Structure 1
Amino acid sequence: MSRFLAFCALALFSSLSWSQNLVISTHPIYLIAKQVTQGIEKPVLLLANQTGHDVSLTPEHRKTIQNASLVIWLGQAHEAPLAKVLSDNKRSIALLDSGILTTLPLRNPRGQALKDTVDTHVWLEPNNAVRIAFFIAALRSQQLPQYREAYFKNARDFAQKMFLTAQHFNVNSKTQPYWSYHDAYQYLERSLGLKFKGALTDDPHVSPTVAQIKYLQDTRVRSKMCLLAEAHASANQYKKLNPIVFQAVDESMSGAGDFVQAWQQLAKQTQKCVLNSQ
């Protein structure tokens, strides 16, 4: 808890010369911030139409950061290009460094955990999403104490909605196997009762190897398997795995306007894929 309070303290700045803009790096965290600040302020999304893995900073981005009273980003492990402009910025806080999140290690395409790594798709775990909401509420309450009650009420409302939605999916006692094009969904596994059986590649921009295709075929646990993948994945890259149930998903929630609704849609798509592969 002391570490949490230490990070909250970073939000207290004596200067009143800067603007009050709250800037959020990527879309999923922005959606959470938008819920927490509803009726109080409108956060600014820094990397619109960009994921943390593919960042191209413009002068406008740098100006947005310069004018912010608080910048919340995931951290270098997810948004490495932002580290150059945010690591020494006293008005920025990296969620992955905050100590408030439960994190999991990256896994190789065969499901083996990689030492000293972190899977940065933390927002997909409902408890993490709620912790992020309350963290934002605490930070902004330090800067704008007159809105403290409203921030925390919004965070509580978000938490209730998030947990109720997640409970609808956590009903199966038996875990269900699935594949993914690349391993980006392990924070959904506990909520949806999933068991990761392998990925085609460890990088969505790199085609799967013949050896990995063979590994998946040799270790498949069902004649038909669910495959979660980005919509841009080419059928030529996974058709050798047939029979499969292909499901296009978007863990980055791009284009979504509400976090819980986007999480629910992702959960429904995943659950449908798994059930149709039985």
Structure 2
Amino acid sequence: MISSTKKFFIALMLFLPAVASAQPNLVTTIKPLGLIANDIAGNHANVEVLLPDSASPHDYALKPSDLKKISSADAVFWVGPELELFLEKLLSDADNAVRLTSYPGMPVRYFEEGSHGHDDHDHHDHSHDGIDGHIWLGPDQSIVIAQAVKDKLSKIDPENAKAYEDNYTAFKAELEQAKLALQTRLAAFNNKGYFLFHDAYGYFEDAFKLSPLGHLTINPDRKPGAKTLVTIRGAIKEGKAQCVFSEPQFNPAMVSTLVKGTDTKVLVLDPMATDLKVGSNQYVDFLNQLGSQYLSCFGEI
């Protein structure tokens, strides 16, 4: 016989809502990876970005709170030592870490040895003679990043694997559509000249058949050398460049000096999506934002 007390608790449990299992917690090192991860996670997983907007992934110093986030995460997505060298020892053998440059199917490009294009050859915090770590700037590479997120989430949260697969399929279709639209618009301008602040956009430029005249610096944390500035100033005065791209964290005064007295425009490329938000923006917003700046450089109305 079941006592009246037990009957009461059984009846009570029938009317209580089921306690939801904890959602997977994902950590990405930088915000563009967070945008991709959130597109795949949807409402079934939490996504947190490790680095603040003002931080450089090339030489970031981990805080105790960062270590706690990493250790407690179900999955940590990082580009690899090509970008976040400070994480190499911590994540290389971590079970919850996914290194994206070495993920199966990732189409990487390589920096050409000796093509630095500047006169500052000090030791840098990341290599520009090997794999280009700026993979999130390429649409094809970002599809593989999304696949890596989908695969990892499906493994740690199989109950929602179908949702992750559907989100990945939608992500891929939307990104392919955005890529095609940008290719069509940018095709008319693939012979236009421009300079970059930072040698980071090779994946984007390969996808859209664009080619810069050069860049001010290879390492965004170092000032351009005097020889480089003289060379670029000469090319600008000769009318070879439609624009010079700066970046949000870079003092624009130097770029303004380079274009002074010419019709060359100064525009900003934001490789870290500083003005976008995980949760309210998608990766395709980031890609379109980059494309819009190139189109502004070339004068498309």
Q: Mark yes or no: TM-score above 0.5.
A: yes
Per-residue deviation at 1:195?
1.2
Distance 1:219 1:40, change over 3 A: same
Contiguous gaps of at least 5 residues in structure 1: 1-17
1:226 paired to 2:239: no
RMSD, aligned CA: 2.4
Q: Do 2:195 and 2:241's aligned partners in 1 also have CA atoms closer than 8 Å?
A: no
SS of the counterpart of 2:267? strand
Aligned with 1:194 (options 205, 210, 215): 210
For 1:237 and 1:48, how far apart are their aligned partners in 2?
Answer: 25
For 1:232 and 1:72, how far apart are their aligned partners in 2?
Answer: 24
Task: Map 1:166-205; keep pairs closer than 5 Å.
Answer: 166-171=179-184, 172=187, 174-205=190-221
Q: Which amino acid aligns with 1:165?
A: A
SS of the counterpart of 1:96? coil
For 1:120 and 1:179, how far apart are their aligned partners in 2?
Answer: 20
Which range moved further: 160-169 or 43-52?
Answer: 43-52
1:131 paired to 2:144: yes
Aligned with 2:40 (options 17, 36, 42): 36
Q: Which amino acid aligns with 1:23?
A: V
**TM-score when normalising by structure 1:** 0.83
Q: Do 2:82 and 2:133's aligned partners in 1 also have CA atoms closer than 8 Å?
A: yes
Q: Which residue of 2 aligns with 1:8?
A: none
Per-residue deviation at 1:184?
1.5
Q: Which residue of 1 aligns with 2:98?
A: 93
Distance 1:81 1:269, change over 3 A: same
For 2:251 and 2:128, how far apart are their aligned partners in 1?
Answer: 31
Distance 1:124 1:235, change over 3 A: closer
Per-residue deviation at 1:188?
1.5
Per-residue deviation at 1:270?
1.6
For 1:148 and 1:179, how far apart are their aligned partners in 2?
Answer: 44
Q: Do 2:23 and 2:46's aligned partners in 1 also have CA atoms closer than 8 Å?
A: no
Per-residue deviation at 1:160?
1.1
For 1:37 and 1:27, how far apart are their aligned partners in 2?
Answer: 15
Aligned with 1:254 (options 274, 278, 281): 274
Q: Which residue of 1 aligns with 2:290?
A: 266
Per-residue deviation at 1:93?
1.6
Per-residue deviation at 1:95?
0.5
Distance 1:265 1:115, change over 3 A: closer
For 2:161 and 2:253, how far apart are their aligned partners in 1?
Answer: 53
Could you list the runs of 4 or more consecutive aligned residues of structure 1 that deviate by over 4 angstroms after TM superposition? Answer: 217-221
Per-residue deviation at 1:122?
0.7
Per-residue deviation at 1:85?
1.7
Per-residue deviation at 1:51?
3.6
Aligned residues: 257
Distance 1:39 1:236, change over 3 A: closer
Which range moved further: 124-133 or 50-59?
Answer: 50-59
Per-residue deviation at 1:109?
4.2
**TM-score when normalising by structure 2:** 0.77
For 1:116 and 1:142, how far apart are their aligned partners in 2?
Answer: 35
Q: Which residue of 2 aligns with 1:63?
A: 68
Per-residue deviation at 1:218?
4.7
For 1:177 and 1:195, how far apart are their aligned partners in 2?
Answer: 7
Q: Which residue of 1 aligns with 2:50?
A: 46
For 1:197 and 1:232, how far apart are their aligned partners in 2?
Answer: 22
SS of the counterpart of 1:228? strand
For 1:116 and 1:232, how far apart are their aligned partners in 2?
Answer: 24
Q: Do 1:26 and 1:45's aligned partners in 2 also have CA atoms closer than 8 Å?
A: yes
Task: Map 1:206-225; keep pairs closer than 5 Å.
Answer: 206-219=222-235, 222-225=239-242
Could you say which structure has the larger radius of gyration?
2
Seq. identity, %? 24
For 1:57 and 1:267, how far apart are their aligned partners in 2?
Answer: 32
1:159 paired to 2:172: yes
Distance 1:65 1:240, change over 3 A: closer
Q: Which residue of 2 aligns with 1:245?
A: 265
Q: Which residue of 2 aligns with 1:74?
A: 79
